[in-house]
């Protein structure tokens, strides 16, 4: 029986997922990110110390576990890959070369309400850069470039990366005279969910804002631009603060670098805050054109205080692709297709049962040369063996004989072939994933 929020893809969907992961992995490695995998569980205290996540954490315990077990001994499944990564860096900092660039592609678990594109168990693909003491800002500008290259390699609609900087928001709120900037950020982050009127009311009620201050916060959140014009629009609001200046300069660098690399890739969106408390500077979210109503498919940001060991800090910046989220949305709209439902490129037909060993040798010769091959399951009539291949989208059927021949069952063309030299077109070697 299916369990809500725990997706299980069909084989053709899984092939699509694997092709996406191949593209993601290869792009990450082109930028110098090294692979890493961390454990699935973390001590509960670590998971609960990084923001408003307590309702989402899945606890792990034995069926017969002592009900009075101390909280510090409890384990939970990780809800993202950044918190485990920060813990890993602290524990292994003596063995790592800094700045440390890594990617992780792993499952994570969140106890939230399942809906289209949102799951309780899902796959994320993260990149992060972390350093000792200080992290050069140019790594913040690199994140959108990597993600932009990933998306350009995939058969998906155009994506726009929305960027902001928490220093802009916090400096602006400080300049307004609002002391509890963290609460203001949390409220403004709900703008798309509850609307400006409720945000304004919540700012007055929970953050001590006056109506004028709440209106100014909303005016900042309305600013959006694909170029550096957002700076003048913020200045026009008449608020000054050193942290605001620092944030505007950083955000401008991100926008200008991305525009040079890939015009239209990023948009400064000053309502973006991100819900997790550990972000301290640049923040990212991504919208897929035509799927904006479903929210962000990648997100991340700068965190200066997430990891430390003694007096040594390990600031970092990272971004995460919600792989299951992205695929779930595209599968839901039937937006992707794959050329076949199995990896097999060629089926070796079996003329009779006593010829199976010979057919196995042919398949082995093809496999040694990197051609995915399987032998037909039975020595049925050739017409039925061709149907076996056709139903699975397998393009070629090999017929042993004197000489051997191979047939492209799509065109009907049949040619003489040798298992030690025949090569299918590169496009046929593996299943092809495309937009529908």
Strand partners, 103: 35, 127
What pLDDT does 182 receive?
86
> Nearest-CA neighbor of 168 among 229, 213, 231, 216?
231
Task: Say how many Å lie between the first and final Cα of the chain, rounded.
Answer: 30
pLDDT tens series, the chain, 436 aa: 788 999 999 999 999 999 999 999 999 999 999 999 999 999 988 888 765 566 789 998 888 776 666 666 789 999 999 889 999 999 999 999 999 999 999 999 998 888 888 899 999 999 999 999 999 999 999 999 999 999 999 999 999 999 999 999 999 999 999 988 888 988 998 888 899 999 999 999 999 889 999 999 999 999 999 999 999 999 999 999 999 999 999 999 999 999 999 999 999 999 988 766 788 999 999 999 999 999 899 999 999 988 888 899 999 999 999 999 999 999 999 999 999 999 999 999 999 999 999 999 999 999 999 999 999 999 999 999 999 999 999 999 999 999 999 999 999 999 999 999 999 999 999 999 999 8
Between CA 376 and CA 398 the distance in angstroms is 10
250 and 169 in contact (C-beta within 8 Å)?
no
Peptide bond into 99 cis (omega under 30): yes
Q: Which residues contact 189 (CB under 8 A, 6 or more apart)?
A: 272, 273, 274, 275
What pLDDT does 277 receive?
72
For residue 386, what are its two tokens? 């061709």
For residue 425, what are its two tokens? 């077109």
What pLDDT does 49 receive?
72
What pLDDT does 322 receive?
96
What pLDDT does 53 receive?
60
What pLDDT does 45 receive?
86
Count of residues in the chain:
436
Q: Regarding beta strands 100-109 and 59-60, do their DSSP bridges make them parallel or antiparallel, or are they unpaired?
A: unpaired
* DSSP three-state, residue 346: strand
Between CA 244 and CA 235 the distance in angstroms is 10
Neighbours of 403 (CB within 10 A): 10
Q: Which domains does the chain have, with CATH numbers?
A: 1-140+312-338 (3.30.930.10), 159-288 (3.30.930.10), 346-435 (3.40.50.800)
Task: State residue 411 phi and psi, 5-degree precision.
Answer: -100, -20
What pLDDT does 278 receive?
81
Q: Which residues contact 1 (CB under 8 A, 6 or more apart)?
A: none
Exposure of 44 in the CB half-sphere (CA atoms within 13 A)? 16
Between CA 11 and CA 141 the distance in angstroms is 37
Question: How far are the Cα atoms of 2, 7, 10, 433 from residue 341, in angstroms, in the given order?
Answer: 22, 18, 9, 11
What pLDDT does 50 receive?
61
Between CA 36 and CA 130 the distance in angstroms is 13
Outline where 153-263 has alpha helix (H): 166-176, 181-188, 191-194, 196-206, 211-221, 230-235, 242-261
Between CA 356 and CA 342 the distance in angstroms is 21
- Give pTM, 2 decimals: 0.91
The sign of the CA dihedral 299, 302, 305, 306 is: positive
């Amino acid at each position: 029986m299916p369990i809500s929020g725990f997706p299980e893809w069909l084989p053709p969907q899984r092939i699509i997922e694997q092709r996406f992961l191949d593209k993601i992995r290869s792009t990450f490695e082109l930028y110098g990110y090294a692979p890493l995998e961390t454990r699935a569980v973390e001590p509960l205290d670590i998971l609960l110390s990084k923001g408003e996540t307590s309702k989402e954490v899945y606890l792990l315990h034995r069926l017969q576990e002592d009900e009075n077990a101390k909280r510090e001994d409890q384990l939970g499944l990780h809800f993202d890959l950044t918190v485990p990564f920060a813990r890993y860096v602290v524990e292994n900092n003596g063995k790592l070369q800094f700045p440390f660039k890594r990617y992780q592609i792993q499952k994570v678990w969140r106890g939230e309400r399942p809906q289209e594109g949102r799951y309780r168990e899902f796959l994320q693909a993260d990149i992060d850069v972390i350093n000792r003491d200080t992290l050069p800002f140019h790594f913040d500008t690199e994140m959108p470039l990597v993600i932009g290259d990933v998306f350009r390699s995939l058969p998906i609609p155009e994506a726009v990366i929305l960027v902001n900087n928490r220093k802009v928001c916090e400096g602006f709120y400080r300049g307004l005279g609002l002391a509890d900037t963290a609460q203001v950020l949390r409220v403004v982050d709900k703008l798309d969910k509850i609307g400006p009127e409720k945000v304004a009311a919540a700012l007055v009620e929970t953050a001590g804002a006056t109506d004028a201050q709440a209106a100014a916060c909303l005016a900042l959140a309305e600013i959006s631009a694909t170029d550096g014009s957002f700076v003048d629009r913020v200045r026009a609001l008449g608020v000054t603060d050193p942290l605001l200046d620092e944030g505007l300069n950083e955000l401008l660098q991100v926008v200008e670098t991305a525009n040079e690399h890939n015009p239209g890739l990023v948009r400064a969106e000053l309502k973006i805050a991100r819900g997790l408390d550990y972000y301290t500077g640049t923040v990212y979210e991504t919208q897929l054109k035509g799927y904006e109503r479903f929210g962000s498919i990648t997100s991340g940001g700068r965190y200066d205080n997430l990891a430390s060991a003694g007096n040594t800090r390990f600031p970092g910046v990272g971004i995460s692709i919600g792989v299951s989220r992205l695929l779930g949305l595209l599968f839901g709209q039937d937006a992707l297709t794959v050329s076949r439902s199995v990896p097999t490129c060629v089926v070796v037909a079996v003329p009779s049962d006593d010829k199976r060993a010979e057919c196995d040798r042919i398949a082995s010769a093809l496999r040694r040369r990197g051609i995915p091959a399987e032998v037909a399951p039975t020595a049925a009539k050739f017409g039925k063996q061709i149907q076996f291949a056709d139903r699975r989208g397998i393009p070629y059927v090999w017929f042993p004989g004197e000489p051997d021949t191979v047939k492209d069952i799509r065109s009907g063309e049949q040619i003489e072939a040798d298992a030690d030299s025949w090569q299918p077109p590169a496009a046929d070697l593996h299943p092809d994933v495309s937009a529908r």
